[in-house]
Amino acid sequence: MKVGRKKLMLNFPTLITTIFSLIIILSFLPQNVNAKPPPNPVQCNGKVCTLKNGYGVWGDRRDCTSPSISYPTTEEELRLAVANANRNKLKVKVVTKFSHTIPKLACPSSKTNQTTLISTERYNSHIEIDTKNMVVTVDAGVSLRDLTNKVEGAALSLVAAPYWEGVTVGGLISTGAHGSSWWGKGGAVHDHVVGISLVVPGKESEGFAKVLWLEGNDPLFKAAKVSLGVLGVISKVKLSLEPAFKRSITYDFTKDDDIEQIYVNHAKKFEFGDITWYPSKYTAVYRYDNRVDINTSGDGINDFLGFQSQSVLVSMATRSTEKAFENSKDEKGKCTMATTFMAYKQTIANGLKNNKLIFTNYPVIGTQANIQASGSCLYSSPLRLDLTCGWDPRIKGLSFYETTAIFPATKFGDFIKDVKKLRDLITPQKLCGIDIYNGFLVRYIKASDAYLGQHEDSVVVDFNYYRGDDPNIPRLNQDVLEEIEQIAFFKYGAKPHWAKNRKLAFLGVPKKFPNWNKFVEVKKQVDPQGMFSSEWSDEVLYGENRENGDGCALEGLCICSEDKHCSPSKGYFCKPGFLYSNARVCRFSQGEILSSNLDLGVIS
């Protein structure tokens, strides 16, 4: 007797419910149960050192390598490392212990093996607080969390910091990291910097390297405040502080009807306000966030959901579910995920906790150090192999792109209107892929005198979306996301965040910065031989595009101009945008697959 075997079918609604339930259960586990720490970004095998970013894969999926690496612990050791490289005519790149920059700014040249890496991982012991003048001077390798904890221990606060605390002081200064504020000096950390110690190449008579102290109106200081690592090695940073304060936060989940009218007043009313927009759900989440007196009752923390330790099983299941929806082109399934995750975020206030354990009610009040930045998945016991950061490259967990565009404040409302028009034109379901992650996160940066900072008050929008395991496989509704990306960077001239984005975002970037030529002149002055440059950083810095091979548009390495830049064999062809006709995107077209395959001789 033969026993028939039924084909196993995934019940996706049940799977999503299971994932959701697991997340809820895990969120109530004791908070001292942490994950295994992220892997070190540099791995050496005795012959070569390989550098990866915190996500385990670069934009072009090509590894970065160098024959050697040094780990200075003092400024003099740092100077000697630069001097040795200069004496031996080596190309140099600086790396940190976190390496969360998405573009390949830290990658040495691949055209020569005459390169070396300098890591600031062990250059992290010095934090000197001057309480009288309310400044702090720190080594470049000091982590943001160590800095903020030490500062608040002295009854002071660092006003600006990014939301993710897995960064070093030198790294966040180099790439223009920011929080959200138009108040005071603004939300960008570099605008709170009052001095920088920079190690640059020197003449033989200067010992092949020298230390420059930069401050005030010095053009070198204005260049070094956002240096991209191409001027030299940041050694020490002096930051301004303020008397310690607390923050009071409430999230308001509401309709998205008036974002384009409200966003300016929202920034003026709330010192640290931001907006999260879920376009497929017609929902906006307004963050009401102001400082309060340090004596105000409240011991809350911001343990942002996306930065918490995650169960490896949940991360893998979430990834597998989204991947299955991608492969089956199931928009409805993705929208179910987006609805479920958004509801959960609302339930737990996206990770805010009133008493460091759970969320009970608004407002959540806590110290600046505990509210501004988060990243609890970083502080981990290597013994807990079942928990980790959700994007840990050692598991088959989350993998995503992060697009971050910085708009002049006056143009951002028109961008919102265009995305709404596009949503209505194509149906909102095609935007669910963004809402699975964190929708559009809207933040604020004040005008800066840094040459590569923002020259006017600006609005920043971040959005994450699925990245496949195989670069040759197109993504569901990728044409819509590409059109939004091109509307931002090319229709409205938004600037790219230096530490994020796909390569196409940097096309034509020099024209977007009024002080671009001043920055280049400083680079020629302090690094005339280009010791701190590589073809990778030049692509970002000069906005060049050297990619035009088959499939280059699938991962944002180019903008398609021919069908071959997409994937004709899989039904993706280069087409104009739905709303922005100048956009060129890779769009799925079932009807064209047959004719394309006939042209290629695939079908006889």
In which region does residue 543 sit, left (phi positive, over 0), alpha (psi from -120 to 50) or beta (all else)?
Answer: left
Q: What is the DSSP string of 337-373?
A: HHHHHHHHHHHTGGGEETTSS---SSPEEEEHHHHH-
For the chain, what are the domain ranges? 42-119, 127-243, 252-502, 552-600
Structure tokens belonging to residue 466: 């699925």
273 and 265 Cβ atoms separated by less than 8 Å: no
Phi, psi of 68 (to 5 degrees): -150, 165
What is the helix (H) or strand (E) element at residue 426, kind and residue range? helix 409-426
Q: Are 127-243 and 252-502 in the same CATH fold?
A: no
The residues that bridge with 286 in the sheet, in sequence order, are 252, 275
18 and 317 Cβ atoms separated by less than 8 Å: yes
Whether CATH 3.30.43 fits 42-119:
yes
At 33 the pLDDT is: 43
Fold of 127-243: 3.30.465
Mean pLDDT for the chain overall = 92
Given a cut of 60, whether residue 599 has pLDDT beyond it is no
Residue 302 and residue 353: Cα distance in Å, rounded? Answer: 6
Question: Which residue, chain included where needed, has tokens 């809820």?
Answer: 24
Sorted by sequence, the CB contacts under 8 Å of residue 258 that are 6+ apart come out as none
Q: What is the CA radius of gyration of the chain?
A: 24
What tens digit of pLDDT does each residue of 71-128 get? 999 999 999 999 999 999 999 999 999 999 999 999 998 888 999 999 999 999 999 9
Band (4; pLDDT cuts 50, 70, 90): very low
The residues that bridge with 50 in the sheet, in sequence order, are 43, 65
The highest-level CATH class for domain 252-502 is alpha beta
Q: What is the DSSP string of 113-137?
A: S-EEEEE-TT----EEEETTTTEEE
What tens digit of pLDDT does each residue of 138-197 get? 999 999 999 999 999 999 999 999 999 999 999 999 999 999 999 999 999 999 999 999
Residue 368 and residue 298: Cα distance in Å, rounded? Answer: 12
Phi, psi of 224 (to 5 degrees): -75, -20
Sorted by sequence, the CB contacts under 8 Å of residue 197 that are 6+ apart come out as 75, 211, 212, 213, 214, 234, 235, 236, 237
Pair type for strands 69-70 and 115-119: parallel
Return the half-sphere exposure (C-beta side, CA atoms, 13 A cut-off) of residue 376: 23
- Chain length of the chain: 604
Given a cut of 50, whether residue 9 has pLDDT beyond it is no
Residue 188 DSSP code: B
pTM of the model as a whole: 0.93
* Long-range contacts formed by 54-57: CB under 8 A, 24+ apart: 54/98, 54/99, 54/100, 54/166, 54/391, 55/100, 55/102, 55/391, 55/393, 55/399, 56/392, 56/393, 56/394, 57/393, 57/399
Which residue would you say has higher pLDDT here, 596 or 233?
233
Band (6; pLDDT cuts 50, 70, 90): very low
Separation of first and last alpha carbons in the chain = 43
Q: Where are the alpha helices (DSSP H) in 511-564?
A: 516-526, 535-541
What tens digit of pLDDT does each residue of 378-424 get? 986 677 788 899 999 999 999 999 999 999 999 999 999 999 999 99
What tens digit of pLDDT does each residue of 498-517 get? 999 999 999 999 999 999 99
Band (450; pLDDT cuts 50, 70, 90): very high
